[in-house]
Structure 1
Amino acid sequence: MRSRVALEPLAEEPGGGEEEAARRRSGLHAALHRWARLLSGGAAGDDARPAADLRGLLSVLACPLSPVPLLPRLPRHVASSAQYIIEQFRATTGCGKLEDGAVKSMYASGRVRLSMLQEPGGGGGSGVIGSGGGRGHEGSFVLWQLAPSMWLLEMSVAGQSVAAGSDGRVAWRRTPWLGAHAARGGSRPLRRALQGLDPVTIASIFSTAEHAGEKEVDGEDCFVLRLDVGPSVLSSWSDGTAETTIASAVSDYRAVDGGVAVAHAGTSTAHLARFGVGVRAARVVARMEESWTIDDVAFNVPGLGPDAFIPPEEVRRSRSYGAAIGGGK
């Protein structure tokens, strides 16, 4: 199965407050300015570029969220081509085995390689940034999930560690350069769930999609499902100075624990466009790539409960977290 959909990265900046406003000068914005300086020769290129690249890669690819929340389980009936495709996907991957109550939690661990790639061309006055030869940074990750709105991801790449999680109401992220903060938009699935790791989440998110035809991908005929998310919703989750599109291809589906099919390998390519003041060109474009493999998958992890998904203290103290909790009551 191959999916292609625009996905928002987990927001680097929560909204409101002097402390939170100061953080806007950190994180992804700082990395993008750094790349722009490197592009114009304003920094020590060979020594500075790998660190800037790694920070940008982790900011964009490590733990972005799905563009839509989990949808309520709808009555299953085939009323359209898209719903027929989803039902076939459900049957093939064994979603029913995960939905009958027997599976409450999930664990996965794997390896990841992140690369900043050189974008050919550019055109239109765009600046193009990257590490020239696609220098890679290797690492590993672990993911825990509980029924399925609670999740926790930890990833370590080239000595840098990031984490992200959701307690079912609020999603958050922690990085060495920005600390821990709540994401805009409330709780949503992790993008990695859309990479084949969780077929139930995939079926839920695409249950309202439209069938947009067929397309040959890597020599195979594939169905194309289109899922539209309103621009007002996306803009409410970002500051409008960057735009990210991520395309993922998954493979190596294997039966796990009673026949549930889980993808054990895949790649994602992200195109990040940076707009606004302080960028040397009117539009700076970065192309990034992630490849990943799953080493271990297990269901019903002993002892895994809601307490494992409580956000860090600094997230719980933030006004954005309090507002999200209050809005959910």
Structure 2
Amino acid sequence: MRVLCPNLDREDALETVLDVPIPEEMFTSMGSSVALRWQNMATWMKAQTLEKWSSPVIASRYNELNFLLYMVGSPLLPLQIQPETCSASSIRNSSIEASTAKYIVQQYMAAIGGLQALNSVQNLCAIGQVKISASEFHQGDESVKARNKEETGGFVLWQKHPNLWSLELLVSGCKVISGSNGKISWRQSSNQLRPMTKGPPRPLRRFLQGLDPRSTGDLFLQAVCIGEKVINEEECFILKLDTSQSDLEAQANPKYEIIHHTIWGYFSQRSGLLVKFEDSRLLTVNGENGDGIFWETSTESVIEDYRYVEGVNIAHSGKTTMTIFRYGEQSSNHKREFEEKWNIEEVHFNVWGLNSDFFMPPSEITKEEKTT
């Protein structure tokens, strides 16, 4: 991935560090020569202004990219992850299903590096790249597949704990910044001055796809074991967790209501590692006439390529598939499918100087908080 941009005005000047590293594939698509590619990149960076978005064609294109980045690139989970301690007493005082889940999580914690290694991690920074594709909306129950055209991009993630994190995601010239400062979470795109969304603090789903083993373990300590299943020729235990009603109500607003959100984790019986992460959400969006339109989202991530980083076993690649159903009395049934492939290029723990000020929300949100 490209991390430095040459100074195009002065050859003897220092190179510029890019906010988000650019995948080599994205860079090579910008021109026939290295000089032209950097010139096109500089032109794009300077064109991040409101005038750029006035064209209906460009606006439509970037609205579609925003939708992709919102749904697949930076989804959040409507729950709180509480730090927990997996102990023998907690297993003895639980039901068979819950105690079995806690035992499976204990094996996962050991496979991921052990509590001593996990407790040594105070924060992390991860750099990676993604490829996202999507189908059009299809009416009825016909089978759909994500189209062949892929949008390529890169991301940078920072985290101190599940509700203190920041994500910068750049895909095909469209950038989304998401974050949580422990009090609120937000998303903001490059073609909008105002934040796209704002709400209670929530964990970023991407962390639970193999980047944050400690939070993953804490999450599934609250689950129950519901059986076994073979995933990619691996015999796995299935842990299931239903989001509490209080967490669902905390995410609701006058425009929509989350009816349920269920999470499943598939843990290999051989290695103890999490090999698949799945969740399903049903929400209703209130229409102007008071009629509700239902949106059902099913997401599954296959997690692969575990490697040790400073004693912690981190997943370095995977694939996420998402299917969205839209239906209701005043809406025809529609279906759409998304796919994301990701690779982690670098992971760094305990970055010096990464304090809470780094996770401050955009100034627009800060001003709103002061006036309310």
Distance 2:197 2:136 in 1: 32
Q: What CA distance in whole angstroms lies between the structure 1 residues aligned with 2:314 and 2:339?
A: 21
Partner of 1:84: 103
How many residues align? The count is: 269
Partner residue in 1 for 2:358: 308
**Larger fraction in strand:** 2
Instruction: Give the corresponding residue for 1:288.
Output: 338
Distance 1:72 1:233 in 2: 16
* Aligned 1:216-227 pairs, distance under 5 A: 216-227=230-241
Q: CA deviation at 1:273?
A: 2.4
SS at match of 1:272: strand
SS at match of 1:68: coil
How many angstroms does 1:140 deviate by? 0.2
| TM-score normalised according to structure 2 size | 0.65
Query: 1:265 is matched with which residue?
Result: 317
Contact kept? 1:68, 1:205, Cα under 8 Å = no
Whole-Å separation in 2 of the counterparts to 1:160 and 1:290: 16
The answer (yes or no) to whether the contact 1:243–1:274 under 8 Å persists in 2 is yes
Measure the CA separation in 2 of the matches of 1:284 and 1:133: 16
Cα distance change of structure 1 residues 181 and 76 upon mapping to structure 2, 3 Å threshold: farther
- Kindly tell me: are residues 223 and 107 of structure 1, through their superposed partners in 2, closer, same or farther at Cα, counting changes over 3 Å? same
Residue aligning to 1:180: 195
- The offset of 1:73, in angstroms, is 1.7
Aligned-pair CA distance for 1:119:
8.0
Contact 1:93 1:199 in 2 (8 A): yes
8 Å CA contact 2:139–2:335 kept in 1: the answer is: no
Question: Secondary structure of the residue that 1:183 maps to in structure 2?
Answer: strand
* Aligned-residue RMSD, C-alpha: 2.9
Instruction: Indicate conservation of the 8 Å contact 2:86/2:102, yes or no.
Output: no
| Structure-1 separation of matches of 2:187 and 2:360 | 12
Opposite residue 66 of structure 2, the aligned amino acid is: R
- CA distance in structure 1 between the partners assigned to 2:346 and 2:129 by the alignment: 10
Letter in 2 for 1:106: L
What runs of 5+ residues in structure 1 fail to find an aligned partner?
1-42, 324-329
Higher mean alpha-carbon deviation, 74-83 vs 219-228, is at: 74-83
Which of these residues, 164, 167, 173, is aligned with residue 153 of structure 1?
A: 167
Structure 2, unmatched stretches of 5+, are 1-55, 93-98, 257-283, 286-294
Contact 1:181 1:314 in 2 (8 A): no
Secondary structure class of the residue paired with 2:352 = coil
In structure 2, relative to structure 1, the CA distance for the partners of 1:192 and 1:303 (3 Å cut) is: same
Check if 1:54 corresponds to 2:73: no
Indicate whether 1:93 and 2:107 are aligned.
no
CA contact (8 A) 1:267 1:292 kept: yes
> Are residue 163 (structure 1) and residue 174 (structure 2) matched?
no
Does structure 2 retain, via aligned residues, the 8 Å contact 1:97–1:103? no
1:256–1:262 Cα contact (<8 Å) kept = yes
Is contact 1:247-1:269 (8 Å) kept?
A: yes
Whether the 8 Å CA contact 1:83–1:207 is kept in 2: the answer is yes
Please say which structure displays the higher CA radius of gyration: 2
The 2-side partners of 1:267 and 1:103 are apart by 26
Give, in angstroms, the shift of residue 183 of structure 1. Answer: 3.0
Q: Which amino acid aligns with 1:175?
A: S
Structure 1: how far apart are the matches of 2:136 and 2:227?
Answer: 32
114 and 84 in structure 1: CA distance in 2 versus 1, 3 angstrom threshold: same
- 1: CA distance between counterparts of 2:129 and 2:355? 25
Aligned to 1:243: 296
**Alpha-carbon spacing, 1:70–1:230, altered in 2? closer, same or farther (3 Å):** closer
Please report how far the alpha carbon of residue 137 of structure 1 lies from its aligned counterpart in structure 2 after TM superposition.
0.1
Q: Distance in 1 between matches of 2:185 and 2:156?
A: 17
Task: Give the direction of change, closer, same or farther, for the CA distance of 1:95–1:229 in structure 2 (3 Å limit).
Answer: same
Structure 2 distance, partners of 1:174, 1:191, is: 17
Secondary structure at the aligned position of 1:84 is classed as: helix
User: CA contact under 8 A between 2:304 and 2:317: conserved in structure 1?
Assistant: yes
